Structure 1
Amino acid sequence: MYDAIVVGARCAGASTALLLARRGHRVLVVDRSSFPSDVISTHFLWPHGMSYLNRWGLLDQVTAVTPTHESVDVVNDGIRLTGSVPTELLREYFRDLHGDDSGVVRSFASVRRRVLDQILVEAAAKAGAEVRTNVTVRELIIEDGRVVGVRGRAAGGETFEDRARVVVGADGRNSFVARALDLPKYDERPRCTFAYWSYFSGFDLGPGQIHRRGRLACAVVPTNFEQNMVLVWGPSDWSREFRADVPGNFQKALDFVSPELGEVVRTRGTREERIYGTLDQSGFLRQLHGPGWVLVGDAESSKDQCTAIGMTHAFRDAELASAALDRWLTGDASVEEAMTAYEGRRRSQNAAAYYDYVCTLAEMRPYRHDELQLFVALRGNQQETDRFIATHADIAPVSEFFQASNLFLLNDAAKESSADHPVFENFAETSRSYQQNLFA
């Protein structure tokens, strides 16, 4: 009998297993993959994601092989904002969510999953968790309405059956655990983005850059193996036309969104791998927990990749869920009390507001005139620029930055500073052209 069986051994699952094992619980974590291996992912970590790794004593392993920076460039219709996340906002985030602010760092990084997931799996095993890879969970064992274990098959054909006090579903947006429990999705947001990316050597542009123009966006971020991840995305209703010529449209999108970046990739870049893609990134929520089970990461809340928050949120969920489960497993709280506390933090007003923020961005509509004025105003206000980046990354509450009084002050300052910016010269005509499908 295990205390916990964790289904899924990547960011959410390996982290949950690691933290439970460190608290002295008997943990089994299983995954159908072998490690090291890659998986579809933006593999970007915001500063609170890096801070979780530091809290767990794993950051040095990541930074030893991964470039890091303390700032990021966000460029909307040519309006460039460069900022970082203030330490105090990070400390407030951890105090509010976890009760302590230890391990805070301000760095950003893009970590390949073959690197990061291997570090997490090895750390979970070192902490005492039993790790099984190349196994497939085929059935949840349910007795008297409660999940009590799993049945599955190893790569060699051997079957297994194991039982636990709780089963953790950490197996992604297409979670087997959620499907086996017949959990419905709710608050679904079908409007989302398509995304294509690959890895290029031959240039170093420093900190990560995120560009947006009209209904398209691109990003370039330094990653492992002296390469850069280059990503383009747009509204899902344009994906069919994009797929007609992926390599050509990949470059066309870069040239449209950021001619400078497009030129660098075309003339200096060497593509080291094939172009990867994903089309269905619709958002949804699922029930968080029930008798004998709990979900973490994308299994319970999946959001579009446009803010690259998935891995950071997986770490957040792992720390919240493991703390709640530990209270129950050690007898400090009833299962109802522990899970209610977990749900309260995961389904908070701030979490709901950020989910709505991401889903709205994922519609990829062109920015309005007043929204662009806001970005222009931010150029002259580093404190508010940093707070905007922290809000975009779900470190500071969306409601605080976008409250009416704050926007009124910023937009009032923007009226003069936006007058000479090229994007406003013929805004109506430009906005109409941004609605046209570049790939049709």
Structure 2
Amino acid sequence: MYDAVVIGGRCAGAAVGTHLARQGRRVLVVDRSRFPSDVLSTHFIWPHGASHLNRLGVLDQVRAVTPAHTEVTIVNDGIALRGSVPEELLRNQFRLLHGDDHGITTEYFSVRRHVLDKILIDNAVEAGVEFREGYTVKELLRDDDGTVVGIEGRDGTVEHARVVVGADGRNSFVARALGIGKSDERPRCTFAYWSYFSGIPDAPAQIHRRGRLGMAMASTNHGRTMVLAWGPSEWAAGFRADVEGNFHRALGLISEEAAGTVAAATREERFYGTLDQAAYLRQLHGPGWVLVGDAESFKDQCTALGITHALRDAELAAAAIGRWLGGESDRDTAMAGYAAKRRSQTAAAYYDYVCTLAEMKPLRHDELQLFSTLRGNQAETDRFIATHVDVAPVSEFFDPSNVFLLNDTARESSRDHGVFADFEATYRDHHRNPFQRAEAEGTR
């Protein structure tokens, strides 16, 4: 009898297993893959995610093989903002969610999954987790009242547990086996294509948005830089007609400087792509089971928070499971506490924020004015970055009174930015699909 069986051994699963094992629980983690191995991912980790890595005890290992930075540049229609996530806001968030702020770092990383996932699962094993790779779960075991009590593998093995944790991603076997449907689905999303280039110097990450297109550049492992381009899902078919050509075309439309840097570099790997970024929520827990990571919720890649949120949720879930297994509270009360933090008003507001961004609508005049005035206010720029990556509450930064005060000065600071000269014409241009012609030419 295990205290917990965790299905899925990557970020969320390895992390929740480690936290439970450090509580003294007997934990089995299983995964159908073998490690190290890659998985389709944009693999960016913001400072709160890096802080969770530090709390797990693996930050130094990640830092040893992955470039680390604190500042990031965010460019909206040519308006560049450079800043970092304030340490005090990070500490506030950790105190609120976890009751303490140990292990905080303001660094961020773009770490490949074959690197990160191996580090995390090795750390879990060192903590006392039993790990079985190349293991496929055939079915969940349930008792007479429907409570999940264990798993059966395709190899015929049967393992019993007090709780089964589904950390098995968007296409979660646990969710399917239990018939857990999706809720609050948001079908409007982005498509994204990316690859890895050598010959680009290590530098802080940059994230660009122009019209309905976006791009990002981030230094990663093995001396390479990840370059990512994305746009609204309704443009995906046109983009796919010529992925490489449209990739460079998109970079040129977004930032000529960045496009020139990439054109002078050497692509070292194939292009990777994802078309289905539709957001959803699932029920978090039930009799004998808990979901964490992408198994319980998913958001578009446009704010790159998948891993960061998976690590956060793993710690929250493990703490709740520990309170139940340790007798501090009954199961329902303990798991309701987990659900309350995961589905708070703040979390709901951020979910809406990401889903709205994922529609990739051209920025409005007032939004551009806001970004323009932030250029002269470093404290508010840093607070905006913290808000954008879910460290500070969306409702606070975008509170009407705060936006009004910022935009009151924006009228002057926006005058020197060209996009304001003929905003209506610019807005119309940003709505047009630049890949339609390429798609037509590719079918002739």
TM-score (ref. length: structure 2): 0.97
Q: Which residue of 1 aligns with 2:138?
A: 138
> Residues 255-302 of structure 1, C-alpha deviation per residue, up to 9 Å, x if partnerless?
1111111011112x1111100000001000000000000000111110
Give yes or no for the alignment of 1:202 onto 2:199: yes
What residue ranges of structure 1 are gaps of 5+ in the alignment? none
Give 1:303-318 correspondences, 5 Å limit. 303-318=299-314
Range moving further from structure 2, 35-44 or 357-366:
35-44
> Residues 288-329 of structure 1, C-alpha deviation per residue, up to 9 Å, x if partnerless?
000000000111110000000000000000000000101111
Q: Which residue of 1 aligns with 2:234?
A: 237
Q: Distance in 1 between matches of 2:320 and 2:276?
A: 32
Give the aligned residue type for 2:90: L
- What secondary structure is seen at the aligned counterpart in 2 of 1:294? strand
Q: Distance in 1 between matches of 2:31 and 2:297?
A: 20
What residue ranges of structure 2 are gaps of 5+ in the alignment? 437-444
Q: Which residue of 1 aligns with 2:124?
A: 124
> Residues 222-256 of structure 1, C-alpha deviation per residue, up to 9 Å, x if partnerless?
00000000000000011011100001011111111
Q: Which residue of 1 aligns with 2:189?
A: 192
Q: Which residue of 1 aligns with 2:351?
A: 355
Give yes or no for the alignment of 1:151 onto 2:137: no
Q: CA deviation at 1:150?
A: 0.9
> Residues 24-60 of structure 1, C-alpha deviation per residue, up to 9 Å, x if partnerless?
1000101111111111111101100011111121100
Give yes or no for the alignment of 1:161 onto 2:162: no
Q: Distance in 1 between matches of 2:59 and 2:19?
A: 15
Instruction: Name the % identity.
Output: 66
Q: CA deviation at 1:118?
A: 0.3
Give the aligned residue type for 1:115: V
Q: Distance in 2 between matches of 1:249 and 1:205?
A: 25
Q: Which residue of 1 aligns with 2:365?
A: 369
Give yes or no for the alignment of 1:3 onto 2:8: no
Q: Which residue of 2 aligns with 1:415?
A: 411
- What secondary structure is seen at the aligned counterpart in 1 of 2:109? strand
Give the aligned residue type for 2:99: G
Give the aligned residue type for 1:334: D
Q: Distance in 2 between matches of 1:79 and 1:141?
A: 55
Q: Which residue of 1 aligns with 2:439?
A: none
Q: CA deviation at 1:128?
A: 0.8
> Residues 153-190 of structure 1, C-alpha deviation per residue, up to 9 Å, x if partnerless?
2xxxx321111000000011111100111111110000
Q: Distance in 1 between matches of 2:319 and 2:119?
A: 21
Q: Distance in 2 between matches of 1:271 and 1:159?
A: 45
Give yes or no for the alignment of 1:180 onto 2:153: no
Give the aligned residue type for 1:244: A
Q: Which residue of 2 aligns with 1:55?
A: 55
Q: Which residue of 2 aligns with 1:96?
A: 96
Q: Which residue of 1 aligns with 2:221?
A: 224
Say whether the 8 Å CA contact 2:172–2:295 is kept in structure 1: yes
Cα distance change of structure 1 residues 205 and 124 upon mapping to structure 2, 3 Å threshold: closer
Give the aligned residue type for 2:162: R
Q: Distance in 1 between matches of 2:390 and 2:138?
A: 35
Q: Which residue of 2 aligns with 1:433?
A: 429
**How many residues matched?**
435
Alignment RMSD (CA, Å): 0.7
Give yes or no for the alignment of 1:36 onto 2:36: yes
Q: CA deviation at 1:63?
A: 0.1
Q: Distance in 2 between matches of 1:2 and 1:369?
A: 57
Q: Which residue of 2 aligns with 1:246?
A: 243
TM-score (ref. length: structure 1): 0.98
> Residues 105-150 of structure 1, C-alpha deviation per residue, up to 9 Å, x if partnerless?
1011100000100000001111111101111112111112101111
Give the aligned residue type for 2:272: Y
Q: Which residue of 2 aligns with 1:215?
A: 212
Say whether the 8 Å CA contact 2:18–2:56 is kept in structure 1: no
Q: CA deviation at 1:205?
A: 5.2
Give the aligned residue type for 2:221: N
Give the aligned residue type for 2:34: S
- What secondary structure is seen at the aligned counterpart in 1 of 2:136? strand
Q: Distance in 2 between matches of 1:405 and 1:42?
A: 35
Q: Distance in 2 between matches of 1:142 and 1:254?
A: 52
Q: Distance in 1 between matches of 2:138 and 2:121?
A: 22
Q: Which residue of 1 aligns with 2:440?
A: none
Q: Distance in 1 between matches of 2:288 and 2:115?
A: 32
- What secondary structure is seen at the aligned counterpart in 2 of 1:159? coil
Q: Which residue of 1 aligns with 2:441?
A: none
- What secondary structure is seen at the aligned counterpart in 2 of 1:420? coil
Q: Distance in 1 between matches of 2:242 and 2:151?
A: 44
- What secondary structure is seen at the aligned counterpart in 2 of 1:162? strand
